[in-house]
Structure 1
């Protein structure tokens, strides 16, 4: 999964390209924008950063426009890869020549003067597959409308750690759900809490266990049978959470998001807050949960 997506903005007008960059960045912090005034440094930037989308205004000049489009045409011929390209222009003769010479299926023409708000939405859809609900400061009232890509990193890391530490091959996770809507008790006995404050999520993460699952997992990993949760074994929950968080931190760092180091804290008993989103896991050792409390720091 690519958490951050790179977008290239090429426009000869400093004012226009900076404005588009600020609007795209404001709309989604997942989008990393690069700007150019023409083809100078184009090869260097595209070699060092994988672009998901490009906006280009033909005001950079025909020679530069054709150079850049020829580059993407050659990539398509070489390995079939193609990114979405938004090309803005009021030069109809140049546009006719471009569409005839470059058979790029994802080349989309935008006529100027440009509707920047519409362009920003198009860029979000091109790189994220959607227009994020938080764009322009609009916050959804739906508590389940958290950044699922962020949550999915924790789900993936949890599965990876469980496979590596306990050789659990049958681990399955269910869709996120509100804890308040559950009819059956979860019987959570112990959990480890991680506080996170980032551009994408602010709140608390828990990895939570019923007593039987925790003791089964402890025996599997430590190879020591325990009949109850005690001061001698409860720190295992924190150690596990720390390993999972370390995996997540590395993944986010690879994608350009640096999370702070945190020390997990133990929580005994049920998790009781107004809004808790639950991701259930199940395997032969029993059930356990990732719990997310948005905004709770």
Structure 2
């Protein structure tokens, strides 16, 4: 293998158990690579853009994720399911939220309302956030595209906390492919995401007992009849019944059979108790509009970019 194609798996002694497959590997740079540089930050450093309280919360979440990594991994058995877990991220800040990597260069999808419920709020919020993989690895992302109507946001990883990569190395992230077809009614699906710490169903200030990353199973329940699938600002037009909580916004909805992406969880109807999400057709058009990259393939299915 030539130096140009050399790759190294991440082995962060402080974070990753030897029994846990890391969500990123590193490749030596090549003269033909045009990938945007990603800053490598030493573990334990002061992370940019965070207040002391925010950094402390990130470290708390990080420690719990490391502790629970093996038990989280045990919830899934298929190889493509492990890949989906590796591609899922959670927001490190108090407000929670979830996301999923869709390209090995570190392009990530989440719901637009994770960065603001309207244009006025989006204009004033910080566009850079820290996210965590289920292994506890931290990455900094920047919101590059924000679509209020579709309820989608495209993020780019710009920094990674790691002791594995060398200066100039190129991180290669685990990712999920978009499904080549829309799901059929009652298709089994998997949802992976962060429920959230606060119990919104309690009348008093109370914490939930949920793990930071939860895996739930359910089925695709069709679309809202007559709705425009690209209009998800009020409620997602996709319907599903996998368990979610308020922090699951942006969590990937994946076909159980192959781990491909068919939607993002976004909302729920408090009248019918039905869960809702952003459908595949809206995701495909959004990605095609805003992300132009070299086509890639996952181990389970081809991806379209």
TM-score normalised per structure 2: 0.26
- Structure with larger Rg: 1
Report which of the two has the higher share of helix: 1
TM-score normalised per structure 1: 0.26
